[in-house]
Structure 1
Amino acid sequence: MNARKVNCIALGLVLGLASSRAHAQYPGQTKEQTAVAVKAPIKAYSFNLSDVRMLSSPFKDNMDREGKWLLSLPTERLLHSFRVNAGLLTDKKTSPTKMPKPLGGWEGLDMELRGHSIGHILSGLAFQYASTGNAAFKLKSDSLVAGLAAVQKSLSEGGYLSAYPQNYIDRNIAGTSVWAPWYTQHKIFAGLTDAYWQTGNQQALEVEKGMAAWAYQKLAPLSPEQLAKMLRNEFGGMNDAFYNLYSITGDPQHLKLAEMFYHKAVLEPLEQGQDKLDKMHANTVIPKLVGEARAYELTADPKAQTAATFFWDDVVKNHTYAHGGNSDKEHFFQPGKISEHLTGNTGETCNTYNMLKLTRHLFTWNPDAKYADYYEQALYNHILGQQDPKTGMVSYFSPMLPGAYRLYSTPDQSFWCCVGSGFESHSKYGEAIYYHGDKDLYVNLFIPSELNWTERGVKVLQTTRYPEEATTRLTIETKKPLAMPLHLRYPAWASNGVTLKVNGKAVAVKQQPGSYITLNRTWKSGDKVELTYPMALRVVATPDNPKKAAFAYGPIILAGEMGTAGLTGTAPYHDPADPYQYYGYDYHVPADLVHTLRTNTGTVTDWLKPVTGQPLTFQTTAVTAAAGITLVPYYKAHRERYVVYWDLQ
């Protein structure tokens, strides 16, 4: 029995430990849905998505496009592979002409990962419902949950539920070849949890508890050696899923299930402050740490806190590209060796989705501005830019190879993992704009939105065109004067200082970039705060080679526009027979493509000049070719070749 198990038993974790703060890290989980109190000290709390309404912005545009995609996917097609697995579509009464068309790509009936997308979709629908209040999202979610419940009942395998037969799990346990069946299970568990938390669907919880009962009967008899063999394969965030379920039910079996997915070989080095990530599959590792973060919150295990904190610090410092993403060909590499991994297979979007999950946990333990700074970096430059604004389709990688370009999914024939995480990412932009303490409020992101903090009777309206302008405006609305410390993030990139006004009067700021400006006052309805962070150009060099660098303006990474010569159509690397064909995708970068700048004299403001009348747009003055190159925000570099990292001469 490991130390965490002993700890938990000694603490007497049972039903009835509900706390008003027990659900702080998972917005949407109400007090009534909470059976186990958070035991770790929490300093900042999340708002529920329903407390924040997104206003007009590129984020809102992405969210709306994603919502339309979610609603457009027919329920019958999403459930098809599950019903096939349960034998529900094989009787003579089913006319072939009435059979729904199977989904393609990674959801094809011949794909071992089939079924993972429905979990992401349940989460995405739940987030859209909470974010917008649009009942269409709940209605679709409810229909999917009901369909899954019918499949589970028909299978009659002790609560087992999947789009593939149970022998996939048996193969995983035996250590024989199979893709990642527990990864798929995780997505379904997580989707059902979100449906329960965000939409109040009790059936979702009952289905999930049935799945957990099956999992416990499956895994409880296994020896430590058998479990260790099973955990060698990718299992997503099964530990996180079971910790979340345990927080809802208080069932000791759910806690034991979470502990069964403690991957000693990966986590122990991190607990000891060791980076042994080289060659590890990044998106196999990151969710384990999200689960460890949840373990810390529910058990107060200090080793889990150490592992999660060290991992985050290490990855952000040593494995992260300028846009906030990480990995090459989905794998970590030697610490700091960014310049050696500027390929066409960099920045798997799922990794960033999971790093942002981890970031939110860490911020609630320690509301340090560095977590909010990273969140902004990754959200604006990677997540926002994943979605093609023309079609709403999304990319898998964000290639850092000079002259490469984004490759997009299709509406119903791709369903890569990054399509699934994209259903979530673009549906929950309101999750990290604001946090709160018992009385104080944090403003972490400068995104047009309206916060309704009902417990304190205050609303905050945030209006801005940031990052296309440097100023953000906050308007306070309250029925009576309210004492509320207001913490405004002072970004680390804001080297040109800050201008702060309250009700039109300048306020002196003593804090430095990379911290919070705190306004400790009693607010009246109609009070206004105006916050301006002048942006500046900066060089973002790779850690291992100062002569390979990206450029940023304020928080925004810039990309050089390189035209469309030789671009192919949508999702050119998708081959149903070879789901990993993109590893060998040839971008056919023109031999004469320029990605070198003469920088031996002057500074970055000499090498790049702003284009009049075009926000966040610059022109090079120091390229080796005769003509200048236009640089735009990386999140806007769609359907064209680009350069993010330049060779500096």
Structure 2
Amino acid sequence: MKRYCFFCLTFLSLTPVSLPAIAQYPGQSTDKMSVALKVPVSAFSFNLQDVRITKGPFRENMEREGQWLLSLPVDRLMHSFKVNAGMNTPKPGSPTKMPEPLGGWEGLDMELRGHSIGHLLSGLALQYASTGNDAFKRKGDSLVNGLAEVQQTLNQDGYLSAYPQQYIDRNIAATSVWAPWYTMHKLFAGLTDQYTYADNRKALDIVTKMAAWAYKKLSPLTDEQLQKMLRNEFGGMNDAFFNLYAITGNPDHLKLARLFYHKAALEPLEAGIDNLNKAHANTFIPKLVGEARDYELTGNEKARKAATFFWHTVVNHHTYAHGGNSDKEHFFEPDKISEHLTGNTGETCNTYNMLKLTRHLFTWTPEERYAGYYEQALYNHILGQQDPASGMVCYFTPMKPGAYRLYSTPDQSFWCCVGSGFESHSKFGEAIYYHDHKGIFVNLFIPSEVNWREKGVKLVQETRFPEEATTRLSVLTDKPVAMPLYLRYPSWATAGVTLTVNGKPVKVSQQPGSYIVLERTWKPGDQLELTCPMTLRRVPANDNPDVAAIAYGPVLLAGKAGTANMQGTAPFHDPADPYQYYGYDYTIPAGIPQVLPAQNTLEQIKPVAGKPLTFETTPADSQIRIELEPYYKVHRQRYIMYWTLK
């Protein structure tokens, strides 16, 4: 395995936001857009600034992530950039003290150095949009000012990075280098996010100059040279340039986006061919996010086909019960989940990017299956990435029964999944609600508020979901408003749902996996309650019904298996290097049960009184009982996700 294969990509999910249909990001006002969408869109994202998460585990994760973002010193984050520009070299005998370099993937000897500052710029902008806290804007402004100074000092046609241009030249020449365009993408994304969410005009100026450098660098290349360059991981560079084009309308930015069209990866998908076996998963996923953006901005039908086919292929044939995918960062043969229950499964960046692609598809066709997958992956994989005790995050989510998660460090890791985590846990408000021309979609049951300014309506959601099955919605408006509410009827709610408006029952004729449409004139203070009873269910591996996970409603349950013989120092591991996962000793101690009865499996799992979302196995032939809790809660210990049914 070569080093350059071990990582992933992150960029912000880009979907239409509000009417009129010129948009780029969820959470962005349309006055920053200059390119209209070329395709019809059925659902629009709300501006992220208009959604507030009020309490609950998502709010808690977001607050921990925000504290981490604010704790990282600007001088340490800027250090490698200034070294590259010759700005951090004190004269001999100078009393100036150099900042302590960051470690892990941000070390000065790492070819990916600089990627984290792009993620951090995005995370700060998202936190500012999500909370309105000026501390996030001030820190983002400081980083942008520092990057502008570095760009000016480098004086290389707009080039900006923590490494020299020779890395890009090596990539163009198809010689060995980790993934410089991947790292460059993070800067493009982060700076664009600073403009989009924090209204930082200097960030747009910097990224526009970077694009001018890229155009000058790449436009003379032949198609053969470009395709060789694109064999190396480049993150979402196509996506980044489509997004910049949406803002600027500059045709050079559209041309740049199309220079990152990777034929070998995308042409088979356009033809409906699953070419994912053995492919590095998170090299692929961002390319399809870019394809989705291409379709929206240009009407490219091939791009739509590729993005849609890819999503369905991954979700239906390559996805574990928690919504993640990949083993040792790679896809494998379709429908072989039970053969890949290892300690190196479920790279978190993959899921982050799958959620971005999911948002695109939902806006084109607002179907419950897209919202359902989003819920599955958000509650089980993304929410569970962060250790509540420390705020640190994991790279992989092991599916091997009896394995356990390893976590990052505050300033000595900076893996790709640390960077995408800066964003994941800062933008939980992006997919709770959508709207069409008439009404609001309620997709997720998260305590929150959404303000639809154009309609003069605020919707307040109160719930303890998933610890309770009921969510309460209050309509706040100054005057009666005629509009529909589209309430998601989850596919897992097979026991039926109940609905009341102002205390009066409403007949529900829809079926699980659809939307309940409430068309009425809403008056100030109207309230509704939707109850979706949750039941235990088996989630079998897609190739073996005798290997299955257990879920309660949408929540995947993990069997708690203790801390015996756990290596590494919880909550961190040392050295803080994800490569340690490959070959890490996941030897499972003797005595950890991994088997449940095949007959009447669910009847032998009982709720624990007084402990919400907690269950216990009750085997008839053994004294060994295993407690099960939501996977997102089970940290710093071994666990069982998939059971053998005998």
Distance (whole Å) between structure 2 residues aligned to residue 342 and residue 49 of structure 1: 37
Are residue 609 (structure 1) and residue 601 (structure 2) matched? no
Residue of structure 2 in register with 1:175 after alignment: 174
- For 1:561, give the aligned amino acid: K
Report how far residue 94 of structure 1 moved: 9.0
Residue of structure 1 in register with 2:641 after alignment: 644
* Residues 202 and 506 (structure 1), Cα distance of their counterparts in 2 relative to 1, 3 Å cut: same
* Residues 62 and 579 (structure 1), Cα distance of their counterparts in 2 relative to 1, 3 Å cut: closer
SS in 1 for 2:307: helix
Report how far residue 148 of structure 1 moved: 0.5
Contact 1:79–1:147 (Cα < 8 Å) also in 2: yes
Q: Deviations over 1:32-61 (max 9, x none)?
A: 211111111101000111101111100000
Residue correspondence of structure 1 range 326-365 to structure 2 within 5 A: 326-365=325-364
Contact 1:573–1:585 (Cα < 8 Å) also in 2: no
Identity in percent: 70
Contact 1:23–1:29 (Cα < 8 Å) also in 2: no
Are residue 261 (structure 1) and residue 224 (structure 2) matched? no
Contact 1:22–1:34 (Cα < 8 Å) also in 2: no
Distance (whole Å) between structure 1 residues aligned to residue 95 and residue 230 of structure 2: 40
* Residues 95 and 456 (structure 1), Cα distance of their counterparts in 2 relative to 1, 3 Å cut: farther
Report how far residue 589 of structure 1 moved: 1.6
Distance (whole Å) between structure 1 residues aligned to residue 224 and residue 575 of structure 2: 37
Report how far residue 580 of structure 1 moved: 1.9
Distance (whole Å) between structure 2 residues aligned to residue 444 and residue 276 of structure 1: 32
Distance (whole Å) between structure 2 residues aligned to residue 19 and residue 55 of structure 1: 23
Report how far residue 581 of structure 1 moved: 2.5
Distance (whole Å) between structure 1 residues aligned to residue 407 and residue 317 of structure 2: 28
Contact 1:598–1:623 (Cα < 8 Å) also in 2: no
How many residues get paired? 629
Contact 2:90–2:96 (Cα < 8 Å) also in 1: no
Contact 2:463–2:471 (Cα < 8 Å) also in 1: yes
Residue of structure 2 in register with 1:162 after alignment: 161
Residue correspondence of structure 1 range 33-72 to structure 2 within 5 A: 33-72=32-71
Q: Deviations over 1:231-253 (max 9, x none)?
A: 00000000000000000011111
Residue of structure 2 in register with 1:429 after alignment: 428
- For 1:435, give the aligned amino acid: Y
Report how far residue 92 of structure 1 moved: 1.6
Residue of structure 2 in register with 1:231 after alignment: 230
Runs of 5+ unmatched residues, structure 2:
1-16
Distance (whole Å) between structure 2 residues aligned to residue 396 and residue 573 of structure 1: 12
Residue of structure 2 in register with 1:566 after alignment: 565
Residue of structure 2 in register with 1:399 after alignment: 398
Q: Which segment is superposed worse, 589-598 or 558-567?
A: 589-598
Report how far residue 519 of structure 1 moved: 0.1
Residue of structure 1 in register with 2:623 after alignment: 626
SS in 2 for 1:106: helix
Report how far residue 490 of structure 1 moved: 0.3
Runs of 5+ unmatched residues, structure 1:
1-17
- For 1:495, give the aligned amino acid: T
Are residue 509 (structure 1) and residue 508 (structure 2) matched? yes
SS in 2 for 1:557: strand
Residue of structure 1 in register with 2:10 after alignment: none
Contact 1:597–1:623 (Cα < 8 Å) also in 2: no
Distance (whole Å) between structure 1 residues aligned to residue 93 and residue 348 of structure 2: 39
SS in 1 for 2:582: helix
Contact 2:23–2:36 (Cα < 8 Å) also in 1: no
Contact 1:488–1:516 (Cα < 8 Å) also in 2: yes
Distance (whole Å) between structure 1 residues aligned to residue 95 and residue 228 of structure 2: 42
Q: Deviations over 1:440-461 (max 9, x none)?
A: 1100000000111111100011
* Residues 46 and 624 (structure 1), Cα distance of their counterparts in 2 relative to 1, 3 Å cut: farther
Residue of structure 2 in register with 1:6 after alignment: none
Report how far residue 31 of structure 1 moved: 2.5
SS in 1 for 2:629: strand
Distance (whole Å) between structure 1 residues aligned to residue 476 and residue 398 of structure 2: 44
Contact 2:394–2:407 (Cα < 8 Å) also in 1: yes
Residue of structure 1 in register with 2:313 after alignment: 314
SS in 1 for 2:454: helix
Distance (whole Å) between structure 2 residues aligned to residue 220 and residue 29 of structure 1: 31
* Residues 417 and 574 (structure 1), Cα distance of their counterparts in 2 relative to 1, 3 Å cut: farther
Residue of structure 2 in register with 1:14 after alignment: none
Contact 1:414–1:574 (Cα < 8 Å) also in 2: no
Contact 2:432–2:446 (Cα < 8 Å) also in 1: yes
Distance (whole Å) between structure 2 residues aligned to residue 24 and residue 634 of structure 1: 36
Are residue 299 (structure 1) and residue 271 (structure 2) matched? no
Contact 2:475–2:524 (Cα < 8 Å) also in 1: yes
Distance (whole Å) between structure 1 residues aligned to residue 32 and residue 257 of structure 2: 19
SS in 2 for 1:462: strand
Distance (whole Å) between structure 2 residues aligned to residue 93 and residue 214 of structure 1: 34
Distance (whole Å) between structure 2 residues aligned to residue 587 and residue 559 of structure 1: 17
- For 2:569, give the aligned amino acid: G
SS in 2 for 1:530: strand
Contact 2:23–2:33 (Cα < 8 Å) also in 1: no
Distance (whole Å) between structure 2 residues aligned to residue 518 and residue 24 of structure 1: 26
Residue of structure 2 in register with 1:207 after alignment: 206
Residue of structure 1 in register with 2:242 after alignment: 243
Report how far residue 544 of structure 1 moved: 0.5
Distance (whole Å) between structure 2 residues aligned to residue 531 and residue 81 of structure 1: 52
Distance (whole Å) between structure 2 residues aligned to residue 270 and residue 171 of structure 1: 29
Q: Deviations over 1:352-399 (max 9, x none)?
A: 000000000110000001000000000000000000000000000000
Q: Deviations over 1:6-55 (max 9, x none)?
A: xxxxxxxxxxxx99434445124323211111111101000111101111
Q: Deviations over 1:532-563 (max 9, x none)?
A: 00100000000101111000000000000000
Contact 1:286–1:355 (Cα < 8 Å) also in 2: yes
Residue correspondence of structure 1 range 474-485 to structure 2 within 5 A: 474-485=473-484
Q: TM-score scaled to structure 2, two decimals?
A: 0.96
Distance (whole Å) between structure 1 residues aligned to residue 621 and residue 127 of structure 2: 47
SS in 2 for 1:546: strand
Contact 2:349–2:416 (Cα < 8 Å) also in 1: yes
Residue correspondence of structure 1 range 413-492 to structure 2 within 5 A: 413-492=412-491
Report how far residue 571 of structure 1 moved: 7.0
Residue of structure 1 in register with 2:5 after alignment: none
Residue of structure 2 in register with 1:101 after alignment: 100
Report how far residue 258 of structure 1 moved: 0.2
- For 1:261, give the aligned amino acid: F
Residue correspondence of structure 1 range 92-171 to structure 2 within 5 A: 92=91, 95=94, 98-171=97-170
Contact 1:324–1:377 (Cα < 8 Å) also in 2: yes
Contact 2:487–2:517 (Cα < 8 Å) also in 1: yes
Residue correspondence of structure 1 range 355-394 to structure 2 within 5 A: 355-394=354-393
SS in 2 for 1:295: helix
Q: Deviations over 1:307-338 (max 9, x none)?
A: 00010011000000000000000000000100
Distance (whole Å) between structure 2 residues aligned to residue 378 and residue 218 of structure 1: 39
Distance (whole Å) between structure 2 residues aligned to residue 153 and residue 93 of structure 1: 25
Report how far residue 634 of structure 1 moved: 0.4
Could you say what the CA RMSD is over the residues aligned between the two structures, in angstroms?
1.5
- For 1:245, give the aligned amino acid: L
Report how far residue 570 of structure 1 moved: 4.1
SS in 2 for 1:395: coil
SS in 1 for 2:256: helix
Distance (whole Å) between structure 2 residues aligned to residue 277 and residue 648 of structure 1: 29
Distance (whole Å) between structure 2 residues aligned to residue 552 and residue 424 of structure 1: 27
- For 2:152, give the aligned amino acid: K
Distance (whole Å) between structure 2 residues aligned to residue 589 and residue 328 of structure 1: 19
Residue of structure 2 in register with 1:5 after alignment: none
Residue of structure 2 in register with 1:525 after alignment: 524
Q: Which segment is superposed worse, 617-626 or 18-27?
A: 18-27
